[in-house]
Structure formats: structure tokens, C-alpha cells
Amino acid sequence: FPDKRELLVAGQETLSRLLAEGIAEAPGCATPLEAVAAGLERASSAMGPMNRELAPRLKAAVAASAELQERDALKTVSLAAAMTTALVARGVPDPTAALAGELGVLAFKRGFGQWSEGDRDGKDELAGYVLAALDELRAVSASLG
């Protein structure tokens, strides 16, 4: 990579595409968060041992650089936008789609963080962590009143 910023966003377009495809291919009767779960599962399937190994180093690099923090924030916005757009295409009203997309990004980040900090020799897959994080966020959001 020409510079470390490019490493941070490597695969962003692919990740956005996989999220959107998973949402688009969710059953027609799926709720917005069920469709997001389908997108998260699809995107998570593309992540493997290399992603898990690189994660702690990327996290440290982002923490040490304001420029990388900015790039990471833009990546987050882009992923949320991809999910929101895919949900709107399914007929989900815009405010609902935006909230579901944001919850999806938060679930992905939380699940990825837990997975990448876990047992490196383990054979557990990212999807389980991400979907568990989404379930947790769904329950927490219901308690907001």
C-alpha cells in the first residue's frame, strides 16, 4: 500500500457491496434488523484469519493517528450509508433504514473487536460475534423507551 491510510480502507468497497447484497437478498418478510443481520453475515463471511491477525495492529495505528481516526470515521459512514441505501431499496422508510444501518455498523465494529481480541488459534467465525452484538444492541435499543 502506498501509505497506511490506504491499508485502513482496503476492502471497504467490497465490504459495502457484501453488506448491501446480503440485505438485498434477505427474505421479503425480514424486518429491517433481520435484513441487516443477513448483510452482516454475508460481509463477515469474507473475513478470515488474516483480518484477525491484522486487527490489533490496525487498532493501534488508528489510536495513534488523528488522520487515521478521521479515515476510520469516514469508513464507518460509508458502511452505514451502504446498509441504509440497501434497506431503502427494500422499501424501508429512510429514518428506520438509517437507524438500522447505524446499528449494523455498531454491531460489526463491536463484534469485530471481540473476535479480533479472542483466541487467535480458535476456529470461531466473525459472524457469530457480529450477530450476537446485533442481538445485544436490539435488546438495548428496546429498553430506550
In the chain, domain spans: 4-142
pTM assigned to the model: 0.88
In whole angstroms, give the CA distance from residue 15 to residue 104.
13
Q: Burial-class residue 94 by CB neighbours within 10 Å (0-12, 13-18, 19+).
A: exposed
CATH 1.10.357.10 is the classification of domain 4-142:
yes
How far is Cα 90 from Cα 141, in angstroms, rounded to an integer?
22
C-alpha–C-alpha distance, residues 55 and 141, integer Å = 28
The pLDDT tens digits of the residues spanning 13-54 come to 889 999 999 999 999 999 999 999 999 999 999 888 888 888
The three-point CA angle 37-143-126 to 5° equals: 25
Instruction: Give residue 84's identity as a one-letter amino acid code.
Output: T
Give backbone dihedrals phi and psi of 26, rounded to 5 degrees, phi first: -65, 150
Mean pLDDT of the chain: 89
- pLDDT of res. 49: 82
pLDDT tens figures, 47-83? 888 888 888 888 888 889 888 888 889 889 999 999 9
Q: What is the structure's pLDDT at 58?
A: 82
Q: Can you give the pLDDT at residue 54?
A: 81
Nearest-10 crossing angle of helices 32-44, 66-89: 130
Integer angstrom CA distances of residue 101 from 36, 46, 71, 117: 7, 19, 19, 24
Separation between Cα atoms, residue 82 and residue 5, nearest integer Å: 21
